[in-house]
Amino acid sequence: MNRAVPQIILLLLLAVGCEKEKFPADLLPDSDIELTDGFCLVAGDQVVLNHEDIAYYDFSAHVIYLKSPVTFSEVFGKYGVSAVYAGGEKIYNLSLHPGYSSLMPQDPVIWTDPTFYPDFVIAIDKMWTFQQLSEEAEDEREDPRIVEALERYEQFRQGLVCEINSIRYNSPKDVEVELELSNPDEGGYYYLDPGKMGMGLFHYFTNGLTVWDPASSQYIDSEIEHIQPDPWDSFAMEWMSLLEGGTSVSLTIRYEQFEALQDGSYTAYFTFPGMRYQVDRDDLDQQDGRIWLGDIEMSGALTVQ
């Protein structure tokens, strides 16, 4: 199951005190809202974004790409947001929160101040617990009515799909994760390639492998020295590989420093990262493909024996 969750936000949430919601979650009656038959974001009785503003919606990362010159700041600077509609029907409640807030919203959320994304996209996040990920809890963002509304205006893209093929724990110095990265869309996507970046730089963008130990009720992370880009908000095409439409690739991540695990069954988690705020609108389209933004969170079983 694919989940897009920005790990850096989770750290920020734990670092600050409580804060009230910035915008109300309740809506006025549907009859007061002027909706279209496509995808809409609503604040109170005001439609703040509809299908005419959208280039396409990447469903794997739940990232909405806006048509030029529409921007995130323009859409949410005045009204905020409170719900998602598709085909004229309310699908789910949606909240807007600052990235430094300590609130753990139950509904899907759009982060702001900062957004961690460029101004030409809107990312709809979901605060998953590891238990929800492993149990494949329902995700209201993946309602088929949303897909239908997006397809009505040719705005649906599946985006990259990533799954854990296997996790092998041979010793604390020999842990291997094999991923299957697929592109079901027609166009190509440039993705962060750990083989080209190296482990340190790749793990600047992801926490990597995390293992839940039920015996000690603890999370165990891989021990990787992260390498920060220079400058910190930059990127290079040399880090990336092109995954053409309708193809897939196997990626292997190896860890040579991991905590010792006792024999038993564990649940492991991995976040496959993509670019975010580093990419400008003019940089998005490259030769033969487009830079993929977002991330994908997944879980898998790990047996140590």
The predicted-structure confidence for 288-305, as pLDDT tens digits, reads as follows 999 999 999 888 999 998
Is it the case that residue 148 has pLDDT exceeding 50?
yes
Half-sphere exposure of 260 (CA within 13 A, CB side): 1
Same domain, 91 and 166: no
Name residue 120's amino acid: F
Residue 152 located in a structural domain: no
- The answer to whether 153 and 67 are in contact (CB under 8 A) is no
**Global confidence as pTM:** 0.85
Closest by CA position to 19, among listed 84, 132, 113:
113
Q: Is 230 left (phi over 0), alpha (psi -120 to 50) or beta?
A: beta
Q: What is the pLDDT of residue 77?
A: 66
Q: Determine the pLDDT at residue 80.
A: 74
- Residue 105 and residue 11 share a domain: yes
Residues 85-131 have pLDDT tens digits of: 999 999 999 988 776 766 677 789 898 877 889 999 999 998 765 55
Domain membership of residue 15 (yes or no) is yes
CA atoms within 13 A on the CB side of 101: 20
Beta-carbon-side half-sphere exposure of residue 215 (alpha carbons within 13 Å)? 7
Q: What percent of the chain has pLDDT over 90?
A: 62
pLDDT at 59 > cutoff 80? yes
Q: CA quadruple 27, 31, 34, 35: dihedral positive or negative?
A: positive
Which domain covers residue 119, as residue numbers? 7-134
Q: What is the CATH number of the domain that holds 214?
A: 2.60.40.2970
> Which DSSP helix (H) or strand (E) runs through 300?
strand 295-304
Length of the chain: 305
**Residue 61 backbone zone (phi > 0: left; psi -120 to 50: alpha; other: beta):** alpha
- Distance between CA 277 and CA 297 in Å, rounded? 19
In a domain, 192, yes or no: yes
Average pLDDT of the chain is 85
pLDDT band at 16 (very low <50, low <70, confident <90, very high): very low
Cα separation, 9 vs 115, whole angstroms = 10
Question: Averaged over 44-59, what is the pLDDT?
Answer: 93
For the chain, the domain total comes to 2
153 belongs to a structural domain: no
pLDDT per residue over 269-280, tens digit each? 999 999 999 999
Q: Is the pLDDT of residue 232 over 60?
A: yes
* Sign of the dihedral defined by the CA atoms of residues 46, 52, 54, 59, in that order: positive
Q: Judge whether residue 55 has pLDDT over 60.
A: yes
184 and 119 inside one domain: no
If DSSP codes are grouped into helix, strand and coil, which group holds residue 273? strand
**Are both 16 and 112 inside the same structural domain?**
yes
Q: Which helix (H) or strand (E) holds 131?
A: helix 130-134
pLDDT at 12: 36
- Residue 250 pLDDT: 98
Q: Say whether pLDDT at 133 is over 60.
A: no
Q: How confident is the model at residue 8 (pLDDT cuts 50, 70, 90)?
A: very low
Does residue 297 sit in the same domain as residue 165? yes
Evaluate whether residue 143 is within a structural domain: no
- Cis peptide, bond prior to residue 69, ω within 30 of zero: yes
DSSP-assigned letter for residue 67: P
- Give yes or no: residues 214 and 173 share one domain: yes
**Residue 292 and residue 163 in one domain:** yes
Structure-model confidence comparison of residues 245 and 69, the more confident one: 245
CA distance 269 to 280: 30
Cα 302 to Cα 8: distance, rounded to the nearest angstrom: 25
Task: Convert the pLDDT of each residue in 169-226 to its tens digit.
Answer: 999 999 999 999 999 999 999 999 999 999 999 999 999 999 988 888 888 888 888 9
